[in-house]
Structure 1
């Protein structure tokens, strides 16, 4: 994935340095795709919910008694 990001950024910057307006616009689009891909990769994958048979982490366990503040 890092190679794809490097290619997108390098192609985008290369196209931005051209004199043609169309190539500059395509370069901006390619850079935008690279930035979106970078954000998705840095976000990581969603974690699966914990297995209820093994026990949930302490923060996810419901409390036994709920105090009502008066």
Structure 2
């Protein structure tokens, strides 16, 4: 409600969405939950995608940090 009036409230919203939400998603472990809940062909496809070279490269801490910083700009 105050984000349209106060710049500080608007800035806090950006920090929460850009920095805190990804951490909460990380600790929620959505990939692990999806793998545990799926069966059959979908689970095998998701497991193969999780072990792919591209996803491993994107989850490298250096690459992930660079992507996070780029999204702020």
More helix by proportion, 1 or 2? 2
Which structure carries more relative contact order (alpha carbon 8 Å, separation 6+)?
1
TM-score, length of structure 1 as denominator length: 0.33
* TM-score normalised by L of structure 2: 0.32
